[in-house]
Chains A and B, each alone.
Chain A
Amino acid sequence: MAVSRRKFLRIGATSACVLVAARLLDREVFAASDTRGSLDLRKLSNKDAACIAALATAVLKGALPDDPAARLVAINEVVVAFDRTVAGLLPAVQTEMQELLSLLTFAVTRRLVADESKPWDQASEQDVSDFVDRWRQSRFALLQQGYQALVRVIMACWYGNPLSWGTIGYSGPPFGKELGLL
């Protein structure tokens, strides 16, 4: 089921103050309780990173390595690349992306727009996949835009990474030796 119209209007009506609250809380309350801090992130909070990691696992199902250790490395590299991608966006577009992430990581709005009751790092892969598909099929342009933005960036972050090339039969840039690339 897609987000209902009533629910969506509720989001619309309260989005401004909720967003402000979400971003304030993000910084002031949750920042202190963050324990995951191993990744070098410029723009994403650790909560954002957990959300992107969960999304990447579902979005890249069938594409990531099977080996658990290699898989973790791959997901972390996608998260860091996502962070760099956000940093490279136009400031106006960066703000849109950060609002989207706040919406997804703040518990109240996460339940409202994503129908996701658990924090992202505790959600099952199926739950996350269902959420992504709800947004994909949504009749609301805003949610479709959110779906496309998240999936596009995750795809770009993974398929730009040489770790992904082996399984898709891409041999990488040619003439590495002649062009001094090795």
Chain B
Amino acid sequence: MSESSVKDPIRIALADQTRNWRVTDGTRLTGDLNIECDVVIVGSGAGGGTAAEILTQAGLKVVMIEEGPFKSSSDFRMRERDAYPQLYQESAGRQTKDKGITILQGRAVGGSTTVNWTSSFRTPPATLKHWRDVWGLADYTEDALAPWFEKMEARLSIAPWPVAPNENNDILRRGCDKLGIHAAAIRRNVKGCWNLGYCGMGCPTNAKQSMLVTTIPEALDRGMTLIHSARVEKLISRYGRITSLVARGMAADGVGVNTEAGPHRIFVTARHFVLAGGAINSPGLMLRSRLADPYNTLGKRTFLHPSPVSAAIMDEKVEAFTGAPQSIYSDHFLDTMPHDGPVGFKLEAPPIHPILAGITLQGFGENHAVWMKRLPHMHVAIALLRDGFHPQSTGGQVAIRNDGSPVLDYRISDYLWAGMRHSLLVMAEVQFAAGAKIVMPMHEDAKPYRNWLDAKRALEVMTMQTLRTRVASAHVMGGCTMGADPRTSVTRSDGRHHQLENLWIFDGSVFPTSIGANPQLSIYAMVARNATRLAELVKPPVQMSA
């Protein structure tokens, strides 16, 4: 094997005795662990990573627990079949209860930031206004949040991407231009990006400024303890406070907890508990722990940006497996669609690698094989529906299976189906405008269409139905709604639980609606503000000098 020209900062730090990183692998526990700290953080993604840096900078003793493994650039080999089981929840095959929506969510140190496509948007002003008006979140103004966006943009090198978009994204731009629809460039959190196109399998060059290579190493340098490959099973509450949590090491295969090596448990007592496991696992853990939920709001209002998919065949090569995966977007159908009307959507393009294409294209046998053979000429567009703003879009509900694992029950309402049809029509029109020879909406009943009129006629009468229409999601939000009124929400505007005073939810699960944009930067900025407040509240205990 040749030697990589890229240095792996994680492996270097782990091998460096002077760095003194405290890292425990949950698959290798040899006995129970009992740990005390100021703050324990469950989860290491956008929320957990941001909080860890801020809390350790404030001098607090922090423990972070992550269910996934601690992998870094040397492990990121750009192969889907290795990356998906290693770095994603349920091997990238997590689905809603009725199997109607496939959910891409990270599970590794760095969480989804380790595998996301780097798209960075501030929370749209219209979303913030809706939160102030409907959810009483008075401190969610553009001005109040601006310094936190600036702080995190600087921290994570979020900037306009100076390189030309890859062909897959440029087709989206050209199609929008032809139709007079505004499209623009996406900002990305990268530094020295090689433009490879493999962000979704873990960045092999450490260019992506994920939590894995930024805030988490900083927190480890400041004395944080990281326990990875361990699942938090339960939070223990008493008299309106969380007193401790119990975790178990995962089995070596990472699928379930380790039941063979003895009942080794990790007990953590802390002054404050931060949940940052993402918007299925955080409410799931709270439900499993039977925490106070007097108004039955926990796990409700979970949103997905449910996204239909449209494929097209172009004359020229597209090679959508290469180059920055997302660099162009259009908000035309958000900006022109008020919240109280039909659902709006954001247009983007996804990367197309063999497994993702193979499982998303409808049908099987020769019809499917013919499309796969056109992979280099394939363009794909997605439409992220802005769910959660309209009375007919109330989201899904997280529940607990008999074995304690969380599952999301998300039924797609007729209101959202109408938006799916609308967006499939728009995507086909954009693709033909950009010169597509064939467009095929991802739907079991769809056929390849050779012109816009044929596609339009077919889509106008196609049955929009779960399992027949392909729907994907890479953004899970809600389930621990923040709001001013405890009767309709779970946390206050600063992420603090309404009933449990030392429990804080620092991830996308507090969003009262979907964001209407890729959510990572919304999570970074909100958590930066909330974690700073928490740090001020939990000043390190004063050391008495002799």
Inter-subunit contact A179/B4 (CB<8 Å): yes
Inter-subunit contact B405/A92 (CB<8 Å): yes
CA distance A87 to B444 in the complex (A): 28
Given the known inter-chain contacts A62-B365, A144-B467, please indicate yes or no for A155 contacting B93, CB distance below 8 A.
Answer: no
Inter-subunit contact A160/B255 (CB<8 Å): no
Chain A residues with a Cβ under 8 A of chain B: 58-63, 81, 84-85, 87-93, 129, 132, 136, 141, 144-145, 148-149, 151-152, 155-156, 158-161, 164-165, 167-170, 173-182
Given the known inter-chain contacts A141-B467, A159-B355, please indicate yes or no for A89 contacting B90, CB distance below 8 A.
Answer: yes
Residues of B in contact, count (CB < 8 Å): 55
Stretch at the interface among B29-37, B56-64, B162-170, B366-374: B366-374
Inter-subunit contact B376/A182 (CB<8 Å): no
Q: Does B524 count as interface, using CB distance less than 8 angstroms?
A: no
Stretch at the interface among B19-27, B72-80, B147-155, B497-505: B72-80
CA distance A67 to B491 in the complex (A): 61
Inter-subunit contact B372/A168 (CB<8 Å): yes
A60 (CB) vs chain B CBs: closest residue: B369
Closest 4 CB pairs of A and B: A180-B4, A160-B81, A62-B369, A173-B78
Inter-subunit contact A93/B90 (CB<8 Å): yes
Inter-subunit contact B405/A90 (CB<8 Å): yes
Q: Does B6 count as interface, using CB distance less than 8 angstroms?
A: yes
Partner of B444, one of A60, A129, A136, A180: A136
Inter-subunit contact A179/B375 (CB<8 Å): no
Taking CB atoms, residues of chain A closer than 8 Å to B355 are 155-156, 159-160
Q: Does B85 count as interface, using CB distance less than 8 angstroms?
A: yes
Given the known inter-chain contacts A92-B401, A182-B2, please indicate yes or no for A59 contacting B77, CB distance below 8 A.
Answer: no
Q: Does B321 count as interface, using CB distance less than 8 angstroms?
A: yes
Cβ contacts A to B, 7 pairs, < 8 Å: A62-B368, A165-B354, A168-B354, A170-B376, A174-B78, A181-B1, A181-B2
CA distance A167 to B354 in the complex (A): 11
Inter-subunit contact B4/A170 (CB<8 Å): no
Given the known inter-chain contacts A87-B253, A92-B401, please indicate yes or no for A161 contacting B322, CB distance below 8 A.
Answer: no
Given the known inter-chain contacts A159-B372, A165-B354, A179-B5, please indicate yes or no for A173 contacting B467, CB distance below 8 A.
Answer: no
Chain B residues with a Cβ under 8 A of chain A: 1-6, 74, 77-81, 84-85, 90-91, 93, 98-99, 194, 196, 198, 204-205, 253, 255-256, 321-322, 353-355, 357-359, 363-366, 368-370, 372-373, 375-376, 401-403, 405, 407, 444, 466-468
Chain B interface SS verdict (over half): loop
Q: Nearest Cβ in chain A — how far from B60, in angstroms?
A: 34
Partner of A89, one of B1, B78, B93, B354: B93
Please count the residue pairs between chain A and chain B whose beta carbons lie under 8 angstroms apart in the complex.
143
CA distance A165 to B79 in the complex (A): 12
Given the known inter-chain contacts A168-B373, A170-B354, please indicate yes or no for A90 contacting B364, CB distance below 8 A.
Answer: no
CA distance A140 to B85 in the complex (A): 30
Taking CB atoms, residues of chain B closer than 8 Å to A91 are 255-256, 403, 405
CA distance A179 to B198 in the complex (A): 13
Inter-subunit contact B2/A177 (CB<8 Å): yes
Partner of B77, one of A149, A173, A177: A173
Inter-subunit contact A158/B78 (CB<8 Å): no
Inter-subunit contact B365/A145 (CB<8 Å): no
Inter-subunit contact A129/B3 (CB<8 Å): no
Taking CB atoms, residues of chain A closer than 8 Å to B372 are 63, 159, 167-168
B81 (CB) vs chain A CBs: closest residue: A160
Taking CB atoms, residues of chain B closer than 8 Å to A60 are 364-365, 369
CA distance A164 to B79 in the complex (A): 13
Q: A62-B369, A88-B255, A180-B74 are in contact. List 9 more A-B contacts (CB 8 A).
A: A85-B91, A87-B255, A89-B91, A145-B98, A148-B467, A155-B359, A164-B354, A167-B372, A182-B1
Taking CB atoms, residues of chain B closer than 8 Å to A174 are 78, 196, 322
Partner of B375, one of A81, A92, A169: A169
Q: Nearest Cβ in chain B — how far from A167, in angstroms?
A: 6
Q: Nearest Cβ in chain B — how far from A174, in angstroms?
A: 6
